[in-house]
Amino acid sequence: MALKTDLYIDGKWVKGSKTVPVRDPSDDSVIAEIQVATEKECDAAVDAAYRAFPEWAKTAPRFRAEILRKAFEIMIAEADSLAEIVSRENGKVLSDAKGEILYAAEFFRWFSEEIVRVQGDFRKSPSGDKRIVVTHQPIGVSLLITPWNFPAGMATRKIGPAIGAGCTVILKPAIETPLTALAIVEILERAGLPKGVVNVVMPTPAGPMVSRMLHDPRVMNLSFTGSTEVGRVLLKEASDRVIRCSMELGGNAPFVVLDDANVDEAVKGLMIAKMRNGGAACTAANRIYVAKKIASEFTTKFAKAMSELRMAPGREPGAQLGASVSKKERDKIADLVSASVKGGAKVETGGVLPEGPGAFYPPTVLSVAKDNEILKHEVFGPVAPIVTFDSDEEAIKLANDSDFGLISYVYSGELGRAIRVSEAIDSGMVAINRGVISDPAAPFGGNKQSGLGREGGFDGIHEFLQTKYIGVEI
């Protein structure tokens, strides 16, 4: 597949003001030069989305569904070459990249099935002499901003419900990983998407151009996935025009292993919850709380499993842990581990930066005290700090001791006990005896500073619809 590197505006691939390189983080080689959008191209993208909106909003849900369905089919047919692009620009291993493409394509299929079922309702007023008609309409031009860690999944999780609902969009992918998003948009073009419905711009630095678009009176909605830090800035920007916001922000997931858990199953689950995507996931288990009674067995077995992972460039056969997206990201991980060790952490395995090229950081397990600094940060890499606890109450207290509340994991031999603990933990999602629960059919999202709104499931469509009440006198 030839890489797309231009901006996509009003159904045309266009040049920007200059180019910047996209690098393969496993060896720092340049994969492609992409076009950078300035004010002119960002304004043109808003123009195109605004012009396309009235016609697109009027199309039949079935028409929109069939384009999404066709795009799903093309993504599945071309999954291997798309996975190659993801792995090259992001650094993750090919098996993770392929898994991401299948997950990402599923959002197109899921929303192609759901958008024909958006319901309104018809109610009688309490006085009996009026009727209340409730309907849902597309919000309008939506700005979609995505991070580098799931360049395919985060794009389709927004594009699917947005265009399904009848909105038109401007997508701004992360500057480190734009090639996947461009490839997906080219697939939508082949699937028959009319011009102007999806536009893609890559401004850098992102801040000034995103601010400009958020202040454009034609932009009605912001859907952002990224760090809580940037989310906070964008919420302030969006408040100037009071536009609708959906925020999928950072996580710092607790992984709680109760004393009656099956240790081998819990280790297996943690290997997925921690290591999927090399630990660069908002859902990654970052604070591992293990009951004292089983902590020694658990730590030994988990450290062994981590130490056996093969770290290598993402497309090398047998690679299980690839590079981080950049040396900058890798160094952030290394700094957090160094500070943790200075604060008393014991290194069970890993913790040493490898020699040679590429943004690699090894699988690392730490035993830490419950006040160790690393527990306060979202470690976006293959690092697992383990803390022990004495009672379920203490585990719940520790799990809730965070500004984040995206996802939590609970392992127990008794379902009722696991559910009681899950209900007491303040997070938008809880996985019981499972290492991964992301599912296009489920509402994904966080509590506290992990976000606002939900993506996926049926709920995801409503992030792009607004409710209208029509009052009828009879």
CA distance 153 to 96: 12
Position 378 contacts ligand NAP (CB under 6 A): yes
User: How far is it, in rounded angstroms, from Cα 22 to Cα 5?
Assistant: 10
151 counts as binding ligand NAP under rule CB under 6 A: no
Tell me the per-residue interface mask from 231 to 270 with ligand NAP, x by CB under 6 A, - otherwise.
--xx-------------xxxx-------------------
For 298, the enclosing helix (H) or strand (E) is helix 292-307
> What is the per-residue binding string for ligand NAP in 38-77, x denoting contact by CB under 6 A?
----------------------------------------
Instruction: Rank residues 152 and 230 by Cβ distance to ligand NAP and give the closer one.
Output: 230
Check residue 324 for interaction with ligand NAP (CB under 6 A). no
For position 174 contacting ligand NAP by CB under 6 A, the verdict is: yes
Q: In this chain, which of 140, 196, 226, 435 binds ligand NAP, going by CB under 6 A? A: 226
Q: Which of 29, 28, 23, 51 lies closest to 141 in space, CA to CA?
A: 51
The one among 38, 95, 137, 204 contacting ligand NAP by CB under 6 A: 204
Assigned token pair, 20: 């910047």
Kindly tell me which of 216 and 248 has the beta carbon lying closer to ligand NAP: 248
Compute the distance between CA of residue 198 and CA of residue 42 in angstroms, rounded to an integer.
13
Of 151 and 350, which CB lies nearer to ligand NAP in the complex structure? 151
Shortest separation between residue 256's beta carbon and ligand NAP, angstroms: 20
Q: Check residue 442 for interaction with ligand NAP (CB under 6 A).
A: no
Radius of gyration of the chain (CA): 23
Candidate residues 120, 207, 217, 344; the one interacting with ligand NAP per rule CB under 6 A: 207
**Rounded CA separation 261/291 (Å):** 9
- In the complex, least distance from residue 366 CB atom to ligand NAP, rounded to whole angstroms: 20
Which residues within the stretch 282-311 sit at the binding site for ligand NAP (CB under 6 A)? Answer: 282
- In the bound state with ligand NAP, the residue whose beta carbon lies nearer, of 150 and 389, is 150
* Stretch of residues binding ligand NAP (CB under 6 A), selected from 32-40, 62-70, 230-238, 384-392: 230-238
Q: Which stretch binds ligand NAP (CB under 6 A): 114-122, 167-175, 181-189, 313-321?
A: 167-175
| Number of H-type helices and E-type strands within the chain | 13, 22
Which residues have a Cβ under 8 Å from the Cβ of 247 and sit 6 or more positions away?
Answer: 224, 225, 231, 234, 235, 451, 452, 453
Helix (H) or strand (E) holding 185: helix 178-190
Smallest gap, in angstroms, from Cβ of residue 148 to ligand NAP? Answer: 5
CB nearer ligand NAP, residue 233 or residue 432? 233
Give me the active site residues, please: 248, 282
Q: Which of 20, 116, 175, 235 binds ligand NAP (CB under 6 A)?
A: 175
**Bridge pairing between strands 141-145 and 219-225:** parallel
- When the beta carbons of 234 and 386 are compared against ligand NAP, the nearer one is 234
What is the nearest approach in angstroms of ligand NAP to the Cβ of residue 225? 5
CA quadruple 410, 367, 329, 450: dihedral positive or negative? positive
CA-wise closest residue to 466 among 59, 245, 53, 137:
137
Count of residues of this chain found to bind ligand NAP when the rule CB under 6 A is applied: 30
Q: Report if residue 103 touches ligand NAP, rule: CB under 6 A.
A: no
- How buried is 58 (Cβ within 10 angstroms: 0-12 exposed, 13-18 middle, 19+ buried)? exposed
The residue with tokens 């299929």 is 109
Angle, in degrees to the nearest 10, between helices 228-239 and 206-214: 30
264 C-beta neighbours (distance < 10 Å), count: 12
CB distance 323 to 333 below 8 Å: no
Distance separating alpha carbons of residues 240 and 235, to the nearest angstrom: 9
**Residue from 93, 366, 406, 429 binding ligand NAP (CB under 6 A):** 406
Task: Look at residues 244, 226, 223 and name the one whose alpha carbon lies nearest to residue 144.
Answer: 223
**Nearer Cβ to ligand NAP (67/209):** 209
Under the binding rule (CB under 6 A), the answer on residue 385 touching ligand NAP is no
Rule CB under 6 A: which residues touch ligand NAP?
Answer: 145-150, 154, 172, 174-176, 204, 206-207, 210, 225-227, 230, 233-234, 248-251, 282, 378, 406, 446, 451
